[in-house]
Amino acid sequence: MSKIMDSIRARAAKLNRHIVLPEGCDPRTIYAAEKICNMKMARITVLGDVEEIKAMCPDADLSGFDIINPKTSDRLPTYAKLLYELRKNKGMTEEQAMITATDPLYFGTLMLKNDDADGMVAGAVNSTGAVLRPALQIIKTAPGIGSASSCFIIALPEENPASKLYGEDGVLVYGDCGVIPNPTEDQLVDIARSTAKTARDVCGFPEQRVAMLSFSTKGSAKDPLVDKTLNALAKIKEKYPDMLVDGELQGDAALVPRVAASKVKCDSPVAGKANVLIFPDLNAGNIAYKLTQYLAGAEAIGPLIQGLAKPVNDLSRGCNVEDIISVVAVVVLNTLD
């Protein structure tokens, strides 16, 4: 495990947050819940049938966490009513709300909405769309943020000389690499703000230096794509005047002091020392993180969902127990204001 993930888990353990894991039908969830409670990293509620869980995982110690069956829970009427009030204008009936609220993903999301839990992690057996749909319908985005997005924490291996040169001790945060294909100017503003917050809260970066990336540096090329990045930058500076942000910057001008000195002819708090990289679209972000992961041997932690009013995060369906524990730790830290 990387040093950054060790740090994330250690800081999460200090917060005593309550996380719901709705996929109690999967043994990985159960063993992750057991380990998280033994580590005292978070308080856990698993959604599922306790007898089915005992039969599925006979050697697991279930005493450290709560198990709730959404279909028989005394909270179901409250959550169904809450769901109905939230969705009746979309045509949902009270009967439909009662049925929908028994779905573990909806039940878990309603726990968050009702302030009965602080965060949720799912996706071991459900698709990304299935995990995010109730979150976007019920939790919605954080105040001031119009769009949820994603980022990856990129940790360069210590044996790679680049880890001593770039980012925050070889750690950078890339956004958006997994959610918004072709962001508008306003969505780029949201991505920049949310990714800087993730860098602060999850990675612990004391200073978030945000580079708005492009194929142009400070007017070296003219194109509507460059204009979009520049317009987004202007909006960021107006909306978040204290953010350390600059653009438009090519990747080398954002990361390499020597190149920044040559290409950027003005004082910049970011050029040559960026630790948060904001890509102009999903093509660039997704390609960049995968190239960094495989060519540089970097650990790519994510995608981390950001910008929601309460944290919900997706898992890969190929995840293992340790992956679930790590994502829970990230979600715990994403509860910070």
Question: Could you report the per-residue pLDDT of 282-320, keeping only the tens digit for each?
Answer: 999 999 999 999 999 999 998 899 999 999 999 988 889
pLDDT of residue 203: 96
- Domain limits of the chain? 3-140+310-333, 149-300
188's tokens? 């780029």
Q: For the structural domain made of 3-140+310-333, what CATH number should be given?
A: 3.40.50.10950
Superfamily of domain 149-300: Isocitrate/Isopropylmalate dehydrogenase-like (3.40.50.10750)
Cα–Cα distance measured from residue 201 to residue 304, given in angstroms and rounded to the nearest whole number: 12
Question: Strand 18-21 and strand 43-47: pairing?
Answer: parallel
Same fold, 3-140+310-333 and 149-300: yes
Cα–Cα distance measured from residue 143 to residue 175, given in angstroms and rounded to the nearest whole number: 19
Within 10 angstroms of residue 102's Cβ, the number of other Cβ atoms is 16
Cα–Cα distance measured from residue 287 to residue 129, given in angstroms and rounded to the nearest whole number: 21
pLDDT of residue 128: 87
* Positions of the chain with pLDDT under 70: 1
Distance in Å from the first CA to the final CA of the chain: 27
- Find, among 39, 18, 131, the residue nearest to 321 by Cα: 39
pLDDT of residue 302: 87
Residues contacting residue 6 through CB under 8 Å, at least 6 positions apart:
none
Cα–Cα distance measured from residue 254 to residue 188, given in angstroms and rounded to the nearest whole number: 17
pLDDT of residue 2: 79
**Contact predicate 70/83, CB 8 Å:** no
* Sheet arrangement for strand 312-314: 66-68, 43-47, 18-21, 119-122, 312-314
In this structure, which amino acid lies at residue 131? V
| pTM, two decimal places | 0.93
In this structure, which amino acid lies at residue 92? M
